[in-house]
Amino acid sequence: MTNSIAEIEDAGCVFIIGSNTTACHPLIARRVIRAKEKGAKLIVADPRNIQLSRFADVAVNHRLGSDVALLNGMMHIIIKKGWHAEDYIASRTEGYDALEEMVSRFTPEKVQAITGVDPGDLEEMTRLYATNPPGSLLYAMGITQHTTGVDNVKSCCNLAMLCGYVGVRGGGVNPLRGQNNVQGACDMGGLPNVVTGYQPVADEAVREKFSKAWGAELPAATGLTITDMIPAMLEGKLKGLYVIGENPKLSDPDWNHFNHALKRLDFLVVQELFLSETAQVADVVLAGASVAEKDGTFTNTERRCMRINKAIDPIGNSLADWEIICRLSTAMGYEMRYDNPEEIFDEMAGLTKSYAGMSYARIGLDGLQWPCPDKDHPGTPYLHKDQFTRGKGMFFALDYKDPAELPDEEYPYFLTTGRMFAHFHTGTMTRISPHLDVEQKTGYVDIHPEDAAKMEVRDGDMVVLSSRRGDIEAPVRLTRSVAPGTIFLPIHFGEVPTNVLTNAEAFDPLAKIPEFKVSAVKVHKLVL
Amino acid sequence: MECKLVPSVCSYCGTGCGVLFEVINNKIVGTLPMKTHPVNEGKLCIKGWNLHEHVNSILRLKQPLVKTFGRFMKTDWDEAIQLTADRFKEIIAKHGPDSIGVLVSAKITNEENYLAQKLARAVIGTNNVDHCARL
Amino acid sequence: MKEQIKSWLEQGTVDVFLGYREVDHHPIPWCFTQEAIEEVDDLVVSPARYSLEKIATHMAAEDPDIRIGMLARDCNNRALNVLYVWNQLRPEQVVTVEANCCPSPLKEHADCSYLEPGTVGAYKKAVGIDNHLRLEAVEAYGPEEGRNRWMYEFQKCIKCYGCRNICPVCFCRECSLDHDDLVGTGPLLPDIPIFHLVRAVHMAGRCIDCGLCEDACPMDIPLRLLYQKVNRIAMDLFDYRTGTSGDQPPFSILGDRVTLEPKPIQPVTGAEA
């Protein structure tokens, strides 16, 4: 997030696109509701009718994967009406002319043809966003899990910058990160092209700095992303895989494809709390410790680095993950010895500018928001205050592109995927939790009553869902939360493996994020 | 009787709500919202309130496992670590460091992620490091 | 006060004392013991309220003979009274040190809620229910307007069960909110208004108007008003004033004292955590 969670309450307008906030980030939804109750305007754009749609001043269901068109359409209206922030654009941004040229083509009629959004609604949502500063834009995986994920994100930034909402309190472009430490994992260099603090491995000076600190030569070539690792496994180039606290067998697209790839590995090690779907096919399973059994830090979606404290000893003979990694490293001939996580943190902070001013003592219970470059820096509640990190904010003129797969005669329904409120990700932790399991014990498919009538299925009937990749069975849940023509599957349930249907071949060329949010499927009643 | 409330952070989504683990005699009996935390101000969602349940689950792995002839056998840490180190070294020797991939995690701590990518880059010698940010 | 607590711990009057201690500027409930008696010097009367008595019941479940000292505001004392009459704690195992509450003109009882009147937004006041209204003012809305306003509030519910989980007098092993026959599981929204009304009915003769539920509600639903209403009914019909006494058995509210022996509630297979 460019801005802080608490600041959402002070927005003049909150625009939510591609986030089912009450289910996936409930305590952020709280801020949205409080903003609304204080007088802010609320806009929800989502292919589904989510809980927050009920509270929105304007709620639209744009067609799956049509985000760029919708956002370009909003910018078209803003420029036409003269609602854009001219001074801000002139002094703080570049690339405006190309953007103006591009969005001039996105007339409300054209946008309606692509997105299905009524021109009147489009104009009203645009007016609310552009004329109620500051506008806070919130998005989640509904924006990113597309073949055009990067374009979608850039379009969100274009819109916010066009109105001068980036670098102001209460505004910003605010991705809601899905996992507790996904921000931290990125910050810590858990990516194939950067070490900590996004320092590129391709940069010789960066490699030299880390080589010196670590006493080992660093490889220069950018590594493989998860998406690239799968073909590498199939081609026999990737022989060994060390998986820590992840369940890619369930979370990666195209389950059959991935399963096949895992079988080609010579050696798979999985470090986990539970015998997850992925751990079951491993050669070695290392028993890690839960959040309550170790010290350390997490960095949340607003860049706030916070401490977790050991409450109990690791259960049984399990070990804190940092201790396992140290032991493995030492056994491989590279001595890694730390007395506690604080020593690791200090080493990392010494190599990472955005964390340089942080220490366990300073972080306390409130945490600190990066960048925090020195010991006296109070942390940064919102980014790009007087200047963008890169100097000038860059507009990207982006044309609309269709998703990789659209419904056709053979596969007539849109399929989209996501979370439900009581479960988390692949369900490894939530499905064994009695109070969460009781809410939803197994997978289901959300179908609109009109579609169900055409399919001749009723609530609770089993249906077979088929895509070009495979088939799965799921019980039907009738709901008006999906639009006719679209069905929804939650991602948490291994016995209804959503990703048998999704497409591993379709991903964003830059971010390598798979298009989980759009596939084409056919549905028919299961006949026994 | 030992009873303590230990401040921590919920691990169920990226919001980062402050929680207190209620610990009685080294067992977590409950999760409470931290009243004065800047993120959640004393409120939690259903997942946060039940955060301790996955910690206490009987399904937790309690020791390392090694697969022998298709079946998992319980083992101790020395054996599991040595076996893993040997296999990795063997693969590196035969196919080079880029034949190994490391998936770090959006669920473990910053410190652990830092060490995991350090292991990949400095020890194994590959930049094949990623995690499920995209998934 | 600190000397008193120390002497209780030293003399074994209590095994533990529940209060608060500041950790990195945050008041955290703290269990003081004789082994670390010097910590009592750091005891604070926290502006933040936690249900210390609920922690006490968890300790008593572990060791039924434990003697517990507790820092108690008026609301903590009312909760203790309810826990005594429902056999969740024994009065002889608890001693309290009285702490001042912050008096408020807004409520009959002391109000320590964080929700200050200024933070209730204009839109909520217009379409929902201002958390600071008095019950009479809410009743004056009339059936249709009242219904619309309550439904606005209930629609915000994200089904966190925080109202139940934080409640110092919610201790049932089997909760009606977990019963699929009463309240549907599964999707958000929860069944409204059934979810909230089922809980409200169960708060009659139980709720001590401490406001912790409202304080824990992520969506600022005015739960306290709802439970005040059902408690008002219990008071009007049976003259039962919840939490005012530790020896007014709940089974006597129908007049003659019922001869049923209060029994500990048995765990139900499958429903227990």
Same domain as A425, residue A362: no
For chain B, give the mean pLDDT: 94
Same domain as A279, residue A295: no
Same domain as A463, residue A445: yes
> Which residue is closest to C175 within chain A, CA to CA?
A435
pLDDT of A517 over the 80 cut: yes
C218 in contact with B, Cβ within 8 Å? yes
- Tens digit of pLDDT for each residue in A309-323? 999 999 999 999 999
Lowest-pLDDT range of A96-105, A307-316, A416-425, B92-101: A416-425
Q: CB B113 to CB A242 under 8 A?
A: no
CATH number for position A70: 3.40.228.10
Chain B residues in contact with A335 by the CB 8 A cut-off are none
> Does A403 fall in a domain?
no
Same domain as B72, residue B36: no
pLDDT of A461 over the 70 cut: yes
Same domain as A54, residue A139: yes
pLDDT given for residue C254 in this prediction: 52
Task: Identify which of C41, B114, C58, C224 has the alpha carbon closest to the alpha carbon of residue A194.
Answer: B114
Same domain as B73, residue B46: no
Same domain as B123, residue B87: yes
Chain B residues in contact with C162 by the CB 8 A cut-off are 33, 43-44, 49
In chain B, residues 31-60 whose CB comes closer than 8 Å to chain A = 34, 37-40, 43-55, 57, 59-60
Task: Using CB atoms, pick whichever of A185, A196, A292 lies closest to residue B133.
Answer: A185
d(CA C80, CA A407): 62
Instruction: Quote the ipTM score.
Output: 0.96
Same domain as A238, residue A206: no
Task: Identify which of A224, A66, A81, A41 has the alpha carbon closest to the alpha carbon of residue A155.
Answer: A66
The one-letter amino acid code at A211 reads S
CATH number for position B44: 2.20.25.90
> Does A393 fall in a domain?
no
Are the C-beta atoms of residues A291 and B8 closer than 8 Å to each other? yes
Q: For chain B, how many structural domains are there in total?
A: 2
d(CA C170, CA C235): 20
pLDDT given for residue C105 in this prediction: 45
Q: Mean pLDDT throughout B17-43?
A: 95
Which runs of consecutive H residues, i.e. helices, occur in A215-340?
Answer: 226-234, 248-251, 255-263, 277-280, 321-331
Subunits that touch chain C (at least 3 Cβ pairs < 8 angstroms)? A, B
Are the C-beta atoms of residues A264 and A295 closer than 8 Å to each other? no
Q: Report whether the peptide linkage leading into residue C188 is cis, meaning its omega lies within 30 degrees of zero.
A: no
Lowest-pLDDT range of A228-237, A456-465, C80-89, C260-269: C260-269
B128/chain A closest Cα distance in angstroms:
4
Same domain as A59, residue A138: yes
Same domain as A157, residue A121: yes
A54 in contact with C, Cβ within 8 Å? yes
Are the C-beta atoms of residues A247 and A428 closer than 8 Å to each other? yes
Q: Which of C165, C221, C272 best tests the B interface by mutation, with the highest count of B CBs <10 A?
A: C165
Same domain as B127, residue B74: yes
CATH number for position A477: 2.40.40.20
Same domain as B74, residue B45: no
Same domain as A241, residue A215: no
Q: CB B49 to CB C29 under 8 A?
A: no
Q: Which domain holds residue B99?
A: 65-134
Q: CB B3 to CB C59 under 8 A?
A: yes
CATH number for position A343: 3.40.50.740
pLDDT of A7 over the 50 cut: yes
> Does A396 fall in a domain?
no
d(CA B83, CA B97): 18
pTM of the model: 0.91
C48 in contact with A, Cβ within 8 Å? no
Q: Which domain holds residue A452?
A: 413-525
In chain B, residues 103-122 whose CB comes closer than 8 Å to chain A = 103-122
Q: Report whether the peptide linkage leading into residue A134 is cis, meaning its omega lies within 30 degrees of zero.
A: yes
- Tens digit of pLDDT for each residue in C140-149? 999 999 999 9
pLDDT given for residue C262 in this prediction: 47
Same domain as A14, residue A102: yes
> Does A423 fall in a domain?
yes
Tokens of C120: 């209730």
Same domain as A35, residue A161: yes
Q: Report whether the peptide linkage leading into residue A371 is cis, meaning its omega lies within 30 degrees of zero.
A: yes
Task: Identify which of A333, A417, A147 has the alpha carbon closest to the alpha carbon of residue B124.
Answer: A333
Same domain as B125, residue B79: yes
> Does A407 fall in a domain?
no
pLDDT given for residue B52 in this prediction: 94
A455/chain B closest Cα distance in angstroms:
31
In chain B, residues 20-49 whose CB comes closer than 8 Å to chain C = 20, 22, 24-25, 29-30, 32-37, 40-46, 48-49
Task: Using CB atoms, pick whichever of A27, A33, A439 lies closest to residue C186.
Answer: A439
Same domain as A347, residue A200: yes
B23 in contact with A, Cβ within 8 Å? yes
Same domain as B128, residue B69: yes
> Does A478 fall in a domain?
yes
Same domain as A21, residue A138: yes
Task: Using CB atoms, pick whichever of A33, A51, A422 lies closest to residue C189.
Answer: A51
Task: Using CB atoms, pick whichever of C26, C27, C162 lies closest to residue B43.
Answer: C162
Residues 6+ apart with CB under 8 A from A247: A272, A276, A277, A278, A279, A425, A426, A428
Stretch (H or E) spanning A96: helix A96-103
pLDDT given for residue A436 in this prediction: 87
Q: Report whether the peptide linkage leading into residue C193 is cis, meaning its omega lies within 30 degrees of zero.
A: yes
* DSSP count for chain C of H helices, then E strands: 10, 5
> Does A319 fall in a domain?
no
User: Which segments in chain C show pLDDT lower than 70?
Assistant: 100-118, 248-273
> Which residue is closest to A301 within chain B, CA to CA?
B14
